[in-house]
Chains A and B, each alone.
Chain A
Amino acid sequence: GAGVSQSPSNKVTEKGKDVELRCDPISGHTALYWYRQSLGQGLEFLIYFQGNSAPDKSGLPSDRFSAERTGGSVSTLTIQRTQQEDSAVYLCASSLALQGGGYTFGSGTRLTVV
């Protein structure tokens, strides 16, 4: 597609429920990233995927968070047993690795845990 697409744009869930957030990167971009942005804060790195390499999971805050990328394209971020502190905007980005030009971000999924 023309840009990075994320769905849903908004998600309200009850504490303890599992949620899945989806990211559709720019076609041909080999690298995909997930970030989290709490209200009024900067972006916190979560995880990134590059081709067939093992993902860098160093930013995942707990084992309740996981992500996968199928077929080198679409990615799903899963949060199990959601907590109120998980409320944030989850942003996905993709890049054509090994070149400049920055990383292209989607509009994010606003997650609210009640």
Chain B
Amino acid sequence: GESVGLHLPTLSVQEGDNSIINCAYSNSASDYFIWYKQESGKGPQFIIDIRSNMDKRQGQRVTVLLNKTVKHLSLQIAATQPGDSAVYFCAENNAGGTSYGKLTFGQGTILTVHP
């Protein structure tokens, strides 16, 4: 989602629920997308990536979906745990599906998982 000023979108879930975090991107030329998790006082941590020639990719407990038609990216976290509480950022570039060049970040979503 998008945010205004200092107010990031928030998502609160119960432990064990599935979480879905959304991201809209604006550059139709973007061809590589990454989800990052950032815990307080730490740098962003890579979660999962996807190239524009795919619409779905799965990792351990996480799935990324890409809809290029509407320029939308989502991150699904299965069986959310308290340790998943963090700020989640989507990021994009247009470097042929590689980790090269300027990476543009979304505003982020705060995920809070309640025990």
> CB within 8 Å of B: which residues of A?
4, 31, 33, 35, 39-45, 48, 50, 56, 58-59, 91, 93, 95-108
Contacts and interface: CB of A to CB of B under 8 A. Distances in A.
Nearest to A56: B102
25 contacts: A31-B100, A33-B103, A40-B8, A41-B107, A41-B108, A43-B44, A43-B89, A43-B105, A48-B101, A56-B101, A56-B102, A58-B102, A59-B102, A93-B103, A95-B100, A96-B99, A97-B99, A97-B100, A98-B98, A100-B51, A104-B46, A105-B36, A107-B42, A108-B42, A108-B43
Interface in B21-42: 32, 34, 36, 41-42
Contacts of B89: 42-43
Given A41-B6, A45-B104, A106 B43 contact: yes
A107 B99 contact: no
B106 interface: yes
Contacts of B8: 40
A101 B105 contact: no
Contact of B34 (A41, A102, A106, A108): A102
A99 to B, nearest CB: 6
A107 B98 CA distance: 23
Given A45-B102, A48-B101, 15 more contacts: A31-B99, A31-B101, A39-B6, A42-B106, A43-B89, A44-B105, A48-B102, A56-B102, A95-B100, A98-B98, A99-B99, A100-B51, A105-B36, A106-B43, A107-B43
Nearest to A95: B99
A103 B107 contact: no
B84 to A, nearest CB: 18
**Which secondary structure dominates chain A's binding surface?**
loop
Counting contact residues on chain B (CB < 8 A from A), the size range is: 20 to 34
Top 4 nearest A-B pairs (CB, nearest first) are: A105-B43, A102-B46, A97-B100, A95-B99
B97 interface: yes
Interface in B77-115: 89, 91, 97-108
A55 to B, nearest CB: 11
A4 B34 CA distance: 18
Contacts of B58: none
